[in-house]
């Protein structure tokens, strides 16, 4: 009965025309929910607290400060929309718990979030931050929340099917502005994002930190590209348990660190729920070993540590100093069961573990080496993200950087 009364009140309110403000500059549908927030393309900043804000793809939005989408509000971005960020850490888009972002790009007209500076560089603006209500492991098995390291919003909880909206055909460029050496934005930071959220056909390129980082949650992804980001291309921690298909990662020459950096939790290697994603069809291309790659010895295709689980299948690795590295006793305990890298093709001669040998042992927390060769099975026919080290067919038209 209460629900019926609320619905009736909503109908009366709409019919009375009490929603007088429209956030879209090109909104001809009077039935769309309106918002008190008005998007200014020349000064795109502020907090969306109610209704739906629909941007206008014919305009370029200058992201001069924070855009925050609060509980109960929605930001919808049509195909072909361009958002240009300036101002480093002050310019970013954040979706709070209960808020939603709908990025409705297409292969022909992706949504582009990029730098607004004449000379573009990594870290020109913050990035996209999404905070959901799915579970994290910071308090070892207890339903808990935390505050995101960027945007300072609450994330986590007990709703693993929570939805923060839908993201399709999005390209994020030159993000990753840093507050300091320990606190920086990524292309997209997923904080406790739930499996009800759609993430499909997304690229992060030339960012100053990670391309994509998952802080717990259960969000699933497909058709993800991470190129030239200056730390890791993909990163997870705090008990992330997503299902993923078609990942492509590539370092720029002389920049970047790892293809994947994977943790359970830095301050509790055995904390539950344990990070346990599955990734099917993945290509990771390193920077190569030629002259000026000063940090080549540190480049690792896949770094698995701090108690994470993962099942990774149909893998292509190329041009890394180390193809696969496993660290810490808690991680090594899962090798061959809950931690596998199967059907793997090494396109160039890269070591699988450490110390430059394909069958080398990996360091354990105790300092005693352990044999982790059971993590790997090789395949001469693995295709990775679809076309080996080349651009996969699903990436054509909307992505760049290959």
18 pLDDT tier (thresholds 50, 70, 90)? very low
pLDDT tier, 255 (very low <50, low <70, confident <90, very high otherwise): confident
Q: Is residue 110 part of a domain?
A: yes
The answer to the question of residue 277 being in a domain is: yes
Q: How confident is the model at residue 17 (pLDDT cuts 50, 70, 90)?
A: very low
**Which residue's structure tokens are 């923060």?**
164
Q: For 67-77, write each residue's pLDDT tens digit.
A: 999 999 999 99
Average pLDDT, the chain: 88
97 with 166, same domain?
yes
Domain boundary among 219, 254, 283: 219
> In the predicted model, is pLDDT for residue 360 greater than 80?
no
What is the extent of the structural domain holding 51?
Answer: 41-219
pLDDT at site 28: 40
pLDDT in tens, 146-192: 999 999 999 999 999 999 999 999 999 999 999 987 889 999 999 99
Tell me which residue of 206, 207, 263 sits closest to 236, measured CA to CA: 263
pLDDT band at 363 (very low <50, low <70, confident <90, very high): very low
Q: Please, is 197 exposed, middle or buried when counting C-beta atoms within 10 Å of its C-beta (0-12, 13-18, 19+)?
A: buried
Token pair for residue 307? 């108690």
Residues 203 and 133 occupy one common structural domain: yes
- Domain end position, chosen among 188, 219, 250: 219
* Whole-number pLDDT of residue 371: 83
Whether 25 is covered by a domain: the verdict is no
204 with 304, same domain? Answer: no
Q: What is the pLDDT of residues 325-353, one digit of tens each?
A: 999 999 999 999 999 999 999 987 555 54
What DSSP designation does 152 have?
-
One domain, residues 128 and 76 = yes
Q: Could you tell me if residue 62 is inside a domain?
A: yes
Q: Is the pLDDT of residue 10 over 60?
A: no
> 186 and 326 share a domain?
no
| Same domain? 328 vs 206 | no
Report whether pLDDT(253) > 90: no
273 and 200 in a common domain:
no
Does residue 235 sit within a domain? no
> How many structural domains comprise the chain?
2
Which of the listed residues 165, 191, 219 is the one where a domain comes to its end? 219
Same domain assignment for residues 105 and 208: yes
pLDDT (0 to 100) of residue 357:
26
The reply to whether 337 falls in a domain is yes
Q: Are residues 74 and 212 in the same domain?
A: yes
Helix/strand/coil (H/E/C) assignment for every residue in the chain: CHHHHHHHHHHHHHHCCCCCCCCCCCCCCCCCCCCCCCCCCCCEEEEECCCEEECCCCCEEEEEEEEEECCCCEEEEECCCEEEECCECCCEEEECCCCEEEEECCCCCCEEEEECCCCCCCCCECCEEEECCCCCCCCCCCCCCEECCCCCCEECCCCCCCCCEEEEEEEEECCCCEEECCEECCCEEEECCCCCCEEEEEEEECCCCCCEEEECCCCCEEEEEEECCCCEEEEEECCCCCEEEEEEEECCCCCCCEEEEECCCCCCCCCCCCCCCEEEEEEEECCCCCCCCCCHHHCEEEEECCCCCEEEEEEEEECCCEEEEECCHHHHCCECCCEEEEEEEECCCCCCCCCCCCCCCECCCCCCCECCHHHEEECCCCCCCCCCCCCCHHHCCCCCCC
- Same domain assignment for residues 79 and 184: yes
Statement: residue 14 has pLDDT above 70: no
65 or 17: which leads in pLDDT: 65
Residue 19 predicted with pLDDT over 50: no
Same domain, 356 and 268: yes
One domain for residues 355 and 209: no
């Amino acid at each position: 009965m209460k629900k019926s009364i609320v619905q009736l009140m909503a109908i009366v309110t709409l019919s009375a025309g009490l929603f007088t403000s429209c956030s879209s500059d090109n909104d001809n549908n009077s039935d769309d929910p309106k918002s008190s927030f008005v998007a200014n393309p020349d000064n795109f900043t502020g907090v969306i607290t109610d209704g739906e804000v629909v941007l206008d793809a014919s305009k370029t939005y200058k992201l001069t400060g924070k855009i925050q989408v609060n509980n109960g509000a929605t930001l919808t971005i049509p195909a072909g929309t361009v958002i240009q960020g300036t101002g480093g850490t002050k310019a970013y888009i954040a979706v709070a718990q209960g808020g939603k972002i709908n990025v409705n790009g297409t292969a022909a007209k992706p949504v582009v979030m990029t730098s607004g500076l004449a000379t573009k560089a990594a870290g020109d603006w913050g990035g996209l931050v999404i905070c959901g209500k799915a579970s994290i492991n910071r308090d070892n098995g207890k339903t808990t929340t935390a505050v995101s390291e960027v945007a300072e919003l609450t994330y986590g909880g007990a709703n693993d099917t929570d939805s923060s909206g839908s993201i399709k055909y999005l390209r994020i460029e030159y993000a990753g502005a840093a507050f300091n050496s320990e606190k920086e934005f990524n292309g997209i930071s997923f904080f406790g994002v739930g499996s009800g959220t759609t993430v499909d056909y997304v690229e992060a390129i030339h960012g100053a930190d990670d391309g994509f980082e998952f802080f717990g949650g259960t969000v699933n992804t497909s058709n993800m590209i991470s190129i030239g980001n200056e730390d890791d291309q993909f990163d997870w921690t705090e008990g992330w348990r997503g299902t993923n298909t078609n990942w492509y990662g590539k370092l720029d020459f002389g920049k970047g660190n790892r293809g994947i950096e994977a943790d359970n939790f830095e301050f509790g290697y055995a904390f539950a729920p344990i990070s346990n994603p599955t990734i099917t069809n993945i290509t990771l291309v390193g920077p190569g070993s030629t002259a000026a790659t000063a940090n080549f010895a540190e480049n690792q295709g896949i770094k698995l540590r701090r108690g994470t689980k993962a099942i990774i299948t149909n893998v292509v690795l190329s041009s890394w100093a180390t193809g696969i590295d496993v660290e810490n006793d808690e991680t090594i305990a899962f090798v061959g069961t809950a931690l596998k890298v199967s059907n793997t093709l090494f396109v160039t001669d890269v070591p699988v573990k450490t110390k430059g040998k394909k069958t080398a042992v990996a360091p354990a927390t105790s300092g005693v080496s352990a044999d982790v060769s059971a993590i790997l099975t090789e395949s001469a026919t693995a295709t990775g993200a679809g076309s080996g080290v080349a651009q996969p067919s699903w990436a054509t038209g909307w992505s760049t950087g290959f």
